[in-house]
Amino acid sequence: MQQKLTPQQLLLMRLLQLPVTTLEQRIKEEVEKNPMLEIESEPAGENNTTADIADDEAGDFKGIDIDEYYEDDDYDYREQLEKDRNVEEHRIDPSEGLSFTESLFNQLALRNVTERERTIAEEIIGSIDGSGYLGRDTQLIANDLAFRSGIDVTDDEVNDILAIIQTFDPAGVGARNLQECLSLQLARIEHPDDDTSMAATIVNKHFNQLTNKHYTSLMNILKVDEAQLNRAISIIRRLNPKPGWGRSEENKGAHYVIPDFIVSREGGQLNFVLNDRNRPPLKMNSEYTEMMQHLSNQGSLSSSERETLQFIKTKTESAQWLIDTLKQREATLTITMNAILRHQSAFFLSGDTHDLRPMRLKDIATVTGYDESTVSRVANQKYVQTDFGTFLLKDLFSKAAITESGDIIVAEHVKSALKQAIDNEDKHSPLTDEALTRLLNSQGFKLSRRTVTKYRENLNIPVGRLRKEL
């Protein structure tokens, strides 16, 4: 005995995890692919024209070109659903303006280089990531040039061209690591003073001591006091560790969040609606439905008519699957959101994160009767709009922590207390994880050192030694 998902179940799982904006685009694509689907809001004039054509050609159906559909649309639900395995295609919207990579190519165009050097430079620029770093080894770049362009280059040649690119703006671009990135930026500073020279020495010769914050060792090596070292380190801190990051971000354009759920409060009661006002309503194409009925009622059919009938039946089945699945998706979202709303009613009424209750996927799955994976797909990439802001639905799911008194609280509260303790610590002598554990336990949280370490790492906060400042 084997349990196997039907194509419609696979389609439901894929549609469940789509946010409303992606779903709208997906529906429009399906309408273009499947002639049996149409949007109810189409202009009446177009429908009348289509109906007149159908009446004129109802006798022989010569208006249907089966080959044209098969050439333009090789999409079949049964085959596609089996292949996709719940994997969605992610589109990248082109941003307006000059991209980071285009900026580098433009700077290259202004340089007087040979055709061979330009080819090498273009390969290098293509290997620079969005942060501005060269993400590949120069030897691999030389190998790719030999394989793809038929140009035999040495590692030294690649490094020479890389040195030219490292003079491009922004400063630090083309670096192979953080140390080189900071060094390139310091070398660009005109008329460096003593503090800048010391900063360059630290980065170029004593970078390991800097990253590990061995300040006492640095002061002994450089024979300087704490004030002098502090000025040099301040210069290093003002450098950009990701020279390409700011440039790429500014070209991404504004992103607007469209919520999937809209929650409102009326007289102490919570209500919500699904935000599907932009989702095009679908229906079956009446013209092709009539054609299918007409052909089905005929006693004998020609080869062309049999192909037409089979084509319409296949597309009808696919269209009906999509319409039924969309209704099932709406019902699943409604039931799941209702359960979440009841579980977190205090938070939705007050907007205070301290009113959040611990909530796991399992809790909602138990109430709704759905599988945890289904609840996860509902919460994935979905936004909820409330009177106090719009946020990701999955942010409401959090594990529980127990206080000394036995009360169950959201783990986020513990993280908030942990972050506050670290923010208020003496940066000259940061708290160790053991000290943080004792402090949180004194505040009533029943935590082990291992748990405190895990929460600190979840907050992307380094260990105490690396938080030390002069």
Q: pLDDT tens digits, the chain, 470 residues: what are they?
A: 666 667 777 777 888 888 887 888 888 888 888 887 877 754 444 444 333 433 443 344 444 443 443 344 433 433 343 344 444 443 334 444 567 788 888 888 888 888 888 888 888 888 888 888 888 888 888 887 877 777 788 888 888 888 888 888 888 888 888 888 888 988 888 888 888 888 888 888 888 888 888 888 888 888 888 888 888 888 888 888 888 865 444 444 445 678 888 998 887 788 888 887 666 678 777 777 777 777 777 767 777 777 877 888 888 888 888 888 888 889 999 999 999 999 888 888 888 777 778 888 888 999 999 988 888 888 888 888 888 888 888 878 876 555 555 555 566 777 878 888 888 888 888 888 888 888 888 887 777 888 888 888 888 888 877 777 76
The per-residue pLDDT for 335 is 93
3-state SS class at 299: coil
Give CA–CA dist 417/444, Å, rounded: 11
Residue 272 lies in a domain: no
User: Do 113 and 222 lie in a common domain?
Assistant: yes
> Domain of 413: which CATH number?
1.10.10.60
List Cβ neighbours of 19 (8 Å cut-off, separation of 6 or more): 258, 260, 381, 382, 383
Residue 380 lies in a domain: no
Q: How many domains does the chain contain in total?
A: 3
User: Do 198 and 124 lie in a common domain?
Assistant: yes
Global confidence as pTM: 0.50
Per-residue pLDDT tens for 370-425? 988 888 888 888 888 888 888 888 878 876 555 555 555 566 777 878 888 888 88
Per-residue pLDDT tens for 280-333? 678 777 777 777 777 777 767 777 777 877 888 888 888 888 888 888 889 999
3-state SS class at 61: coil
Q: What is the DSSP string of 132-158?
A: SBB-S-HHHHHHHIIIII-----HHHH
The per-residue pLDDT for 256 is 65
List Cβ neighbours of 55 (8 Å cut-off, separation of 6 or more): none
User: Do 121 and 210 lie in a common domain?
Assistant: yes
Residue 361 lies in a domain: no
User: Do 102 and 246 lie in a common domain?
Assistant: yes
DSSP state of 470: -
User: Do 123 and 206 lie in a common domain?
Assistant: yes
Structure tokens at 280: 């095009």
Handedness of CA 361, 363, 365, 367 (dihedral sign): negative
DSSP state of 110: T
The widest CA-to-CA distance across the chain, in whole angstroms, is 102
User: Do 192 and 293 lie in a common domain?
Assistant: no
Count other C-beta atoms under 10 Å from residue 243's C-beta: 24
Residue 346 lies in a domain: no
Residue 13 lies in a domain: no
User: Do 243 and 102 lie in a common domain?
Assistant: yes
Residue 274, judged by CB atoms within 10 A of its CB (0-12, 13-18, 19+), counts as: middle
> Residue 404 sits in which domain range?
400-467
Instruction: Classify strands 383-386 and 261-266 as parallel, antiparallel or unpaired.
Output: parallel
3-state SS class at 454: helix
Count other C-beta atoms under 10 Å from residue 92's C-beta: 5
Q: Across the strands, what pairs with 391? A: 384
| Last residue within a domain, chosen from 234, 250, 266 | 250
Residue 353 lies in a domain: no
User: Do 77 and 207 lie in a common domain?
Assistant: no
Residue 427 lies in a domain: yes
DSSP state of 175: B
User: Do 243 and 190 lie in a common domain?
Assistant: yes
Residue 354 lies in a domain: no
User: Do 177 and 115 lie in a common domain?
Assistant: yes
User: Do 49 and 115 lie in a common domain?
Assistant: no
**Of all residues in the chain, what percent are helix, strand and coil, respectively (each to 5)?**
55, 10, 35
Residues recorded for the chain = 470
